[in-house]
Structure 1
């Protein structure tokens, strides 16, 4: 594809994202490229980078376009990104819209007028940040997260916000049911993909740059799974051991179920629950590829008495709760545009309800692990504190104690990543996505 054709395709992809603003962008992009199989791998990467570059800077681009009274259409968003973000001159931006077959139509007179108005207001050096921006726009953060992020990060807010703008690395988890971490790394290296061990997780491998891992023999053979190091640490803290009965209560597509099964060496029983049929159906393929044979699935539906019939039966219950996903914004930049304060309010209520239900499933002496991929205290510490007030039969197990137990089983486990009783990982401090976890012990 020509550069002009790639830019036109990126505009079309952005239009598709706008048309389904509540649907995850990666799913829309997958459908977009699936229906355009003529687009090769290199072109696909270039188109995606152009579109995601706009999505990552959308709050700032909207601010700039608002200054000149422009509606943020996909065409103007791309043009503004070229002008302000990449420092092209007006004539150079106009040349990227040449018209003709496969190229974007030329900017019309009103669009060109808006582009020139932007040019008149841009700073002397390339970049979208302007001193007149509100703090949240300057930090590329929605206004509604600012109180929570200030409470979480304090003086580190700007640094952490900057890290959330950078594309996340690709982490893999070696599947101990199929291979050691060293064997998995060697298998990937034999296919030309070099990795390095992760800092904390004894199962993790990190790629210095994104590569097509899912096309390797190591992946198709089930030796590795894609999983952020922070997510791996949550599975480690669950301390799922061989012979236990374990519940992954909000399993999704079973990413943590796979890690728990490997920790159990395929012995014992693990149940993966979710409210989504497609997610649980997708888990089947992953479980089969990983060689997991001690797992079963259960679909949670309204009026289901499944949980009541299994009260007090599980040694470990992991609640990877539905949340705003603020800790994964560098990986899912569209989520900061799709989520708002009403979602936070609704999710906090749901998290409390899920915790109360899950607590009844833990046997006396067992453990409930509460986790989110959010960095907002309302979804994290506030939920744990509220739960402990409502459930005096539970106590918080300090992180250091849980970490020592995990190191006893996996000596390669790195140092305790945080000071305090709760796990909180961030891109700046740990090089992972933002995750939260608390280990809650039920009294015997």
Structure 2
């Protein structure tokens, strides 16, 4: 695809998100492949797409004084894309942004639209954007400043206070580093770092976890190391789950909501060829992903099943697993850096509906834990109701379980509170994540 059409590809992605509630990361990959976008254009498309989504509310605030009337959704997105480049990308000259915006408007609309787009962007160029300081309400200002819906900022402020909420909202605007887990059954971290450097990747050892690496440059999913099963793409917060489970050789372990298999394969690696992991997911194509990951990594102690985990208790005898993991469906409010479109579509109703599912799965999973065994509950959200609220529900409903202190590497200990830990995005530069452990009384 010629470079001049990168902006049009970004516009296509934003339109698809608006119309079909599609996920930005999947759309971006599809557009890159479909249009054979390569080299620096991949970086520019990624930056424009994610940046515009990340800062949508801020951009709309900036645009509002310059729009005389409501415009069509595609025109609004074109203005957002253009203003994002003008405000946040130093290396893209304004004249290039204006030229591309007008050309796209001509191709997609008519002379009136291209004239309006040109007029709005030139007016902003002359006058600058309005000041955020004009917003007096601190919650609303933080909402617009960091482009998080007001209801969400208010909820977080009520739950965690303004300072922690501000830190989280600001961190969510920063693109995350890609991290990977070394397959310790195949190689050491030092060996993998050397192999990746030989391939041309700029990588470093994680200061947080001994089997984690961080990529400063290059997509590790395209590496030979990935193809050969030496690494799995996984966030550092997510890797903590296998630590919290205190896995021992020869154990029988259930992963109730397993796809795409990051935690499943980590558990299998910690078993080191012994025991067995029983991995379940509701969708057949997702279960296939788990097996593809296991095969790539050379792990043969994983058994998969397509199964609704809300009925998982019907498929096994009570008390047969040493460890049970419920990595529950959740609002995903801890991964907004990776999936920024989530923040504009989630609602309070979604959180309440998900809580019901979380409670149901935990209730089913609890009966499968052996006396003396450990049940681990995890989510990639920061919401107190989904996390601490669900922990309290479980302890109230299941007196045969007791809180079990989480054992994680010393780098993570500051975030542990008894039997649970809450990682915020700003804590270690990872996803927001929650883990809780319960032990079944003997």
Same fold per superposition (TM over 0.5): yes
1:365 to partner: Cα distance? 0.6
* Paired residue secondary structure (2:434): strand
Provide the C-alpha distance between the structure 1 equivalents of 2:281 and 2:131, rounded to a whole number of angstroms: 41
Q: Does 1:99 pair with 2:96?
A: no
* Paired residue secondary structure (1:138): helix
Q: Which residue of 1 aligns with 2:240?
A: 233
Indicate conservation of the 8 Å contact 1:366/1:441, yes or no. yes
Q: Which residue of 1 aligns with 2:339?
A: 332
Q: Does 1:184 pair with 2:192?
A: yes
| Structure 1 residues 89 and 273, CA gap change in structure 2 (3 angstroms) | closer
Spell out the pairing of 1:355-370 with structure 2 (5 A cutoff). 355-370=362-377
Structure with a larger share of its residues in helix: 2
Partner deviation per Cα, 1:280-329 (whole Å, 9 max, x = no partner): 01111110011110110111149957645332111111111100101000
Spell out the pairing of 1:59-98 with structure 2 (5 A cutoff). 59-66=57-64, 68=67, 69-71=69-71, 73-83=73-83, 86-87=86-87, 93-98=97-102
Indicate conservation of the 8 Å contact 1:64/1:118, yes or no. no
TM-score normalized by structure 1?
0.88
Aligned residues: 430
Indicate conservation of the 8 Å contact 1:307/1:361, yes or no. no
Provide the C-alpha distance between the structure 1 equivalents of 2:264 and 2:72, rounded to a whole number of angstroms: 41
* Paired residue secondary structure (2:134): coil
Q: Which residue of 2 aligns with 1:434?
A: 432
Q: Does 1:131 pair with 2:165?
A: no
* Paired residue secondary structure (2:186): coil
Provide the C-alpha distance between the structure 2 equivalents of 1:322 and 1:275, rounded to a whole number of angstroms: 11
Provide the C-alpha distance between the structure 2 equivalents of 1:149 and 1:305, rounded to a whole number of angstroms: 33
Provide the C-alpha distance between the structure 2 equivalents of 1:89 and 1:207, rounded to a whole number of angstroms: 29
1:47 to partner: Cα distance? 1.9
1:18 to partner: Cα distance? 2.2
Q: Which residue of 1 aligns with 2:44?
A: 46
1:429 to partner: Cα distance? 1.6
* Paired residue secondary structure (1:327): coil
Indicate conservation of the 8 Å contact 1:246/1:316, yes or no. yes
Partner deviation per Cα, 1:382-410 (whole Å, 9 max, x = no partner): 110111011111111123xx23xxx5xxx
Indicate conservation of the 8 Å contact 2:102/2:117, yes or no. no
Structure 2 gap segments, 5+ residues each: none
| Structure 1 residues 6 and 109, CA gap change in structure 2 (3 angstroms) | same
Q: Which residue of 1 aligns with 2:316?
A: 309
Indicate conservation of the 8 Å contact 1:11/1:75, yes or no. no
Partner deviation per Cα, 1:187-235 (whole Å, 9 max, x = no partner): 21221223222222221111224x1212222111111111010000112
Q: Which residue of 1 aligns with 2:15?
A: 15
Provide the C-alpha distance between the structure 1 equivalents of 2:205 and 2:106, rounded to a whole number of angstroms: 44
Provide the C-alpha distance between the structure 1 equivalents of 2:236 and 2:179, rounded to a whole number of angstroms: 6
Provide the C-alpha distance between the structure 1 equivalents of 2:130 and 2:238, rounded to a whole number of angstroms: 33
CA-atom RMSD in angstroms: 2.9
Q: Which residue of 2 aligns with 1:395?
A: 402
Indicate conservation of the 8 Å contact 1:84/1:128, yes or no. no
| Structure 1 residues 425 and 104, CA gap change in structure 2 (3 angstroms) | farther
Provide the C-alpha distance between the structure 2 equivalents of 1:286 and 1:301, rounded to a whole number of angstroms: 21
1:7 to partner: Cα distance? 1.5
Q: Which residue of 1 aligns with 2:34?
A: 35
1:60 to partner: Cα distance? 2.3
Partner deviation per Cα, 1:217-255 (whole Å, 9 max, x = no partner): 211111111101000011211112210000111101111
Indicate conservation of the 8 Å contact 1:148/1:377, yes or no. no
Aligned mate of 2:415, from 415, 418, 421: 418
Structure 1 gap segments, 5+ residues each: 408-412
Provide the C-alpha distance between the structure 2 equivalents of 1:229 and 1:44, rounded to a whole number of angstroms: 25
Which stretch of structure 1 is more off in the superposition, 225-234 or 40-49?
40-49
Spell out the pairing of 1:253-272 with structure 2 (5 A cutoff). 253-272=260-279
| Structure 1 residues 180 and 93, CA gap change in structure 2 (3 angstroms) | closer
Provide the C-alpha distance between the structure 2 equivalents of 1:234 and 1:107, rounded to a whole number of angstroms: 54
1:132 to partner: Cα distance? 2.6
TM-score normalized by structure 2?
0.88
Q: Does 1:201 pair with 2:184?
A: no
Which stretch of structure 1 is more off in the superposition, 127-136 or 42-51?
127-136
1:10 to partner: Cα distance? 1.7
Indicate conservation of the 8 Å contact 1:94/1:106, yes or no. no
* Paired residue secondary structure (2:238): helix
| Structure 1 residues 12 and 131, CA gap change in structure 2 (3 angstroms) | same
1:426 to partner: Cα distance? 1.8
